[in-house]
Amino acid sequence: MPGPVRHALTALFLPALLFTSQASMAELPTMTDAAFAECKAGLQDKAVQAGVSADTASRVMADVSYLERVIELDRRQPEFTTTFADYLNRRVNESRISKGREMLAEHKDLLARVTRETGVPAPYLVAFWGLETNYGSYFGKMQVPSALTTLACDPRRTTFFTEQLIAALRIIDEGAIPAEQMEGSWAGAMGHVQFMPTVFLKHAVDADGDGRRDLWNSLPDAMMSAGKFLESMGWDGDYRWGREVLLPENFDFSQADGRRLPLAEWRKLGITDAFGNALAREPIEAALVVPSGHQGPAFLAYSNFRVIMGWNRSEFYAIAVGHLADRVAGAGGLQNPPPEDQPALSRDQIMQLQETLSAKGYSSGEPDGILGSNTRKAIRQYQKAEGLIADGFPSGQLLQALDIQAGS
């Protein structure tokens, strides 16, 4: 699935780690023309029952076609994990930073208006825009009604994609965009900020006053909609997303387990900002995030970090948004960049890691090839018992100790 935001989709598609380098797939299931026609008819009836006009439902569904490529992309199983260094370097690069600063200046009046109405600072709006569609340069080329119908007719997530299809038909019905122009990602994310149809219906706004909520052709509509969505999830305009921090020597990395502590408590543990200065004396809580383990950068994530993860449920993504926003606003790079030589693990290697840890008494549940919170907890328990730095990260040292060969 491409970079565009998934919103509700993230609960279905995004594991704790991101993957690249596609593995070979099993033969894809096929759907006969007759079966697809029957499914389309049923979906059309459901749309009308849900309030879509019969004319819109009939007209749009008549032009819908089965997109085998969508099923291929949906079923594709990635093979290797993406390291944090690779993820961040690909998404927060000099080109995107420079373009973001241009966009910040070019659209300063619009962005200032969005900030006034939603509380979301302009650099964050630009950062989301940059990560989602590279500042509007690529929205996706899939015909959304056809893509969503194809997915709704697939048995794996019929309910979810039926809901998205009906929402897309309602968007067409209200006149936001003609059906033939409704293009987006293979999973149905659309426009400058890649809203899913249900998110569009709930949070998209008409900010330019033309009577339409147009997230494809109206930047005011897109930016205000993004701001409203973030505001609805609890964006706190008084604080930033978080910050890079420095940890003291011999820091207990078991603290980086998602727990939220007041900044005063993190100060007592010896944590400073990235330049060695004392943390601000603010009455807020933060969680410590170490995406590359103890060898990489550390971040204190504030409440807005969780809001960003409400947009896309990936820590890597949330850090990228925050860091890109900082860079667009004029800040420099990370003081402690992530190491470039960390291993990329395959699903099979992660399953082997899970099985090996379980055999040693550190179970993370049923092996699934996903490096989630339970697996990190098991790693941390093993590391602590073996006198290793308990950061919950599958480092080369850990893999060597467990006789698991790292990927490349």
pLDDT, one tens digit per residue, over 377-398 is: 999 999 999 999 999 999 988 9
Percent helix, strand, coil in the chain, to 5, is: 50, 10, 40
Structure tokens belonging to residue 99? 């373009």
Model pLDDT, residue 4: 41
Q: Are 369 and 395 in contact (CB under 8 A)?
A: no
Cα 167 from Cα 172, distance rounded (Å): 9
Cα 384 from Cα 351, distance rounded (Å): 21
Structure tokens belonging to residue 315? 């820590």
Strands 272-273 and 242-246: antiparallel
Residue 224, pLDDT above cutoff 60: yes
Half-sphere exposure in the Cβ direction for 243 (13 Å, CA): 19
Model pLDDT, residue 49: 98
Exposure string over 250-288, b if 16+ CB within 10 A, otherwise e: ebebbbbeeeebebeebeeeebeebeeeebeeeebbbbb
**pLDDT tens digit sequence for 308-341:** 999 999 999 999 999 999 999 999 999 999 999 9
Strand order of the β-sheet with 285-289 is 260-262, 285-289, 298-301, 242-246, 272-273
**pLDDT tens digit sequence for 257-267:** 999 999 999 99
Q: In degrees rounded to 5, what are phi and psi of residue 217? A: -110, -10
Model pLDDT, residue 29: 64
75: confidence class by pLDDT, cuts 50, 70, 90: confident
Model pLDDT, residue 78: 66
Structure tokens belonging to residue 161? 């994609």
Residue 407, pLDDT above cutoff 90: no
Average pLDDT for 75-79: 73
With both helix axes pointing from N to C terminus, report the angle between 94-106 and 122-133 in degrees, rounded to the nearest 10.
130
Q: Is 261 helix (H, G, I), strand (E, B) or coil?
A: strand
Average pLDDT for 84-105: 98
